[in-house]
Amino acid sequence: MVDRLGMGGRIVLDHLEPARSPRYGTTPAALNPRLARALSRRGVTGLYSHQAAAVDLALRAHHLAVVTPTASGKTLCYNLPVLDAILADETSRALYLFPTKALAQDQLVELQQLADAADMTLRTHTYDGDTPPAVRAALREAGHVILTNPDMLHTGILPHHTRWVRLFEALRYVVIDELHTYRGVFGSHVANVIRRLRRICDFYGSRPTFVTCSATIANPGELAEQLIGLPVTCIDDNGAPSPAKRVVVWNPPVVQPALGIRRSAALEARTLVPALVRSGAQTIVFGRTRLQVEVLLNYLRRELLDRSVAPEDGGPRLAVRAYRGGYLPLERRAIEAGLRDGSVRCVVATSALELGIDIGQMEAAVLVGYPGTIASTWQQLGRAGRRGQPALQLLIVGGGPLDQYVATHPEFLLEQPPEQALIHPDNLLVLAGHVQAAAFELPFRDGERFGDAEVGGLLALLADEGVVHHAGGRWHWSADAFPAEAVNLRTVAASNVVIIDTSSPPARPSGGPQGPWSGTAGGRSGTGARIVGEIDEWAAPLTVHDDAIYLHQGRQYHVERLDWEERRAYVHPVAVDYFTEAELRVSLQVLDCFAGPEASGGLRLLRARGDVRVSSLAAMYRKVRFLTHETIGTGPISLPERDLHTTAYWCIVPPEVAVRAGRALEPGLHALAHVLEQVAALSLMCDSRDLGVSAQVRAPVVGLPHPHPPVAPSEFIAGQRPRQTAAPLDAASAGGWPAIFLYDAHPGGTGLTGRLFDLHLVVVARAAELLRRCPCASGCPACVGPVAGVDSTAKAMAMVLLDAARAEPRPAGGDR
């Protein structure tokens, strides 16, 4: 199909993955024969090897991490042992956790079908914000399997565990599906929710077996162990068959060679996808953002429906649908059904469909833009691959540095293991919130640990605050507050700014279904104003400052006033031809250095990591006209400076390298910072927004002496400098070290920067390679960032700097 499009020149990777035939394992003898019969009734002739192994181990109460790609039948791995337990003992209970409500719905159907095939009475239902009150009561009393999400467990179940006695007394299995989504801050929170869950199980005397399922990531076992705090057995021997797949990476052509600008990936998709669909392939297209999905949908509909060209097989009109968050459940169900029965020929989706929603298998998957991680790429590409038919998996890369890195190193996709998912459950801020919630649920005993965290000091601190009270060897909750409600799992900053539309009346009496406000913020009906959305307090100064234009679902709102004390922004809808962009001034101060500065592997950029304070001040904003992107005005922002206390990793340029870089130092440093940020996001499994970057020519660096007079380089490379506890206060004024800081964008850090410290050599080497391979002359969006913003020699300067750092010590004159 691709060949027929006749644009082979743009293909940078064309890899054929041969079909794989299934490998079966023996059905465990311990499995209830009724379930074996139910399986054959459902058309399952035998268990794949990974399923057999998982069921066998789960039945023997081993904690598991099952790692398999899309559509490999992982649900059987946990449904079988759970149903087996319920068949053996009717009072057994199980708890399923899914990251979204939609997934829980999906799995409910599947579980119920299996139970029906086994002729067993299974009382089960989803438990979330949509569950009717009568069903809730019945579930609490008698539900065998509760399907819920971490947020509901956190605020709805654990703090009220006395109503769930039946569940917690007989909890046999806890299933955590889509394990790989629990990373970063969210994962750190969920790990703490699991700690609370295990405390409560201990209290009621149950010891559930944890079965976790993950898409392919580098460290599933490690992630599972961190998340549940127990040793797990990892099952990654996938026995499911897979059809032949053709993996193609497509790089759009350069349209403006001087500036290194390429045709946009969306426009390429506009020509490629209709051709695929017309040739009869059911196609799924992944966009990176909601906005991009809507734009793509628009393009494709025009191409496919309005052109006079009929489908090649003369069939019915080709239905194209979009699928993203924010659609109503019924609408989603209809699209899923249409995909399964084939009436929807093409769907444009966000990563919402990356998770295990059952839509059947497509014949082609097209990714518009690199999704940011290898793991996500394979998850999304894996949607194509129907049994017995070869599938096309096409990645159209965009113009950014990450995308272009993939384009120039396509083998990276095939050879590199997928990213690691990192969590940091002991982040103090996260921990403090959950220790309070846990104390609310059950008093802490003296010396009791929370997971493997020592919390005595924290409890003493909470006692000083009057939140808990120590008596009788236990720490009792004593505040008039509901701590779980103050902790939002999906972000670490506890207080959000609520955006309120002052113009619209409260919901119309006969209006349709209410918006998706089911969380803690709730649509406060009857207050006379409507809540448009929420934004966390770190992003608020940039997006909802006074006179900002706030964009929400394609609509523009003018911010009348940001009430910072009350955390409220008052807005009203407008239609203007510009948007606003705030500028953030960031300064960074090192508070404590945990490791380094030290050299590693002969590289002369020193590495270090520690605590930093990042002060950011939104001081002004620009009004930018749509389409032309010209600045048509500016305005001041008067908001207090925000301090972010977090962890950072930094690269220090030693004096002899700085000397050799000469004038290249400053522009090179800034250019390199931009590259490092992108490469770091690539090397970790994280969104580039999770990392911040700051380059400083004179950074006072803890742990190093004052740079003047220069010290012999060898002393640094030895890496054995005694640590100092505080920086000399005058270091900042007198000078400092050139350094690039990469910091965690979340308060307290989520463990990203510790990994960067370990990956120091890899990150720097990849940055150098990206620079070298980039074909542009003097810097482009694909390497050192927007050319206009940086000196036009930035790319060269960055390379000089890197070369200086990598070269063996030579006389300074030898360079350039």
Binding site for another protein (CB under 8 A): 159-163, 165, 428-429, 432, 436, 439-443, 446, 456-458, 460-467, 469-474, 476-483, 485-486, 494-495, 509, 613, 642-643, 645, 747-748
Residue 444 beta carbon to another protein: minimum distance, rounded to whole angstroms:
11
Residue 104 beta carbon to another protein: minimum distance, rounded to whole angstroms:
23
Cβ proximity to another protein, 134 vs 330, nearer residue: 134
- Please name every residue paired with 579 in a beta bridge, in sequence order, or none if there are none: 624
Residue 451 beta carbon to another protein: minimum distance, rounded to whole angstroms:
17
703 neighbors 597 (Cβ within 8 angstroms)? yes
Coil, strand or helix at 460? helix
263 neighbors 248 (Cβ within 8 angstroms)? no
How many other CB atoms are there within 10 angstroms of residue 311's CB atom?
15
Cβ proximity to another protein, 188 vs 251, nearer residue: 188
Tell me the C-alpha distance between 651 and 673, whole Å. Answer: 10
475 neighbors 439 (Cβ within 8 angstroms)? yes
Q: Which amino acid is residue 322, in one-letter code?
A: A
Cβ proximity to another protein, 369 vs 748, nearer residue: 748
Cβ proximity to another protein, 400 vs 747, nearer residue: 747
Cβ proximity to another protein, 481 vs 632, nearer residue: 481
238 neighbors 68 (Cβ within 8 angstroms)? yes
Tell me the C-alpha distance between 116 and 135, whole Å. Answer: 20
Tokens 């250019």 locate to 671
Cβ proximity to another protein, 486 vs 717, nearer residue: 486
φ, ψ dihedrals at 250, nearest 5°: -120, 125
Beta strands in 542-679 (DSSP E): 549-552, 555-563, 568-574, 578-600, 603-625, 631-636, 642-652
Residue 429 beta carbon to another protein: minimum distance, rounded to whole angstroms:
5
Cβ proximity to another protein, 445 vs 663, nearer residue: 445
- Please name every residue paired with 580 in a beta bridge, in sequence order, or none if there are none: 623
- Residue 438's H or E segment, with its range, is helix 428-441
- Cα 815 off chain centre by: 43
Residue 471 beta carbon to another protein: minimum distance, rounded to whole angstroms:
4
Q: Which two tokens stand for residue 667?
A: 């522009």
Residue 195 beta carbon to another protein: minimum distance, rounded to whole angstroms:
16
Cβ proximity to another protein, 97 vs 455, nearer residue: 455
Cβ proximity to another protein, 170 vs 679, nearer residue: 170
Cβ proximity to another protein, 524 vs 613, nearer residue: 613
Residue 166 beta carbon to another protein: minimum distance, rounded to whole angstroms:
11
Cβ proximity to another protein, 397 vs 727, nearer residue: 727
Tokens 């380059």 locate to 695
- Residue 136's H or E segment, with its range, is helix 133-142
Residue 582 beta carbon to another protein: minimum distance, rounded to whole angstroms:
20
Cβ proximity to another protein, 561 vs 613, nearer residue: 613
396 neighbors 366 (Cβ within 8 angstroms)? yes
- How far CA 491 is from CA of 155, 357, 747, 752, in Å, comes to 15, 24, 10, 16
- How far CA 342 is from CA of 276, 647, 673, 723, 804, in Å, comes to 15, 50, 48, 65, 59
Residue 751 beta carbon to another protein: minimum distance, rounded to whole angstroms:
15
Residue 413's contacts (CB-CB under 8 Å, 6 or more residues apart) are: 13, 247, 249, 374, 377, 395, 406
Tell me the C-alpha distance between 768 and 759, whole Å. Answer: 14
Residue 428 beta carbon to another protein: minimum distance, rounded to whole angstroms:
6
Residue 564 beta carbon to another protein: minimum distance, rounded to whole angstroms:
12
Among 281, 245, 243, 283, CA closest to 387? 243
Tell me the C-alpha distance between 496 and 494, whole Å. Answer: 7
Cβ proximity to another protein, 338 vs 456, nearer residue: 456
Residue 167 beta carbon to another protein: minimum distance, rounded to whole angstroms:
13
- Cα 511 off chain centre by: 35
Residue 199 beta carbon to another protein: minimum distance, rounded to whole angstroms:
12
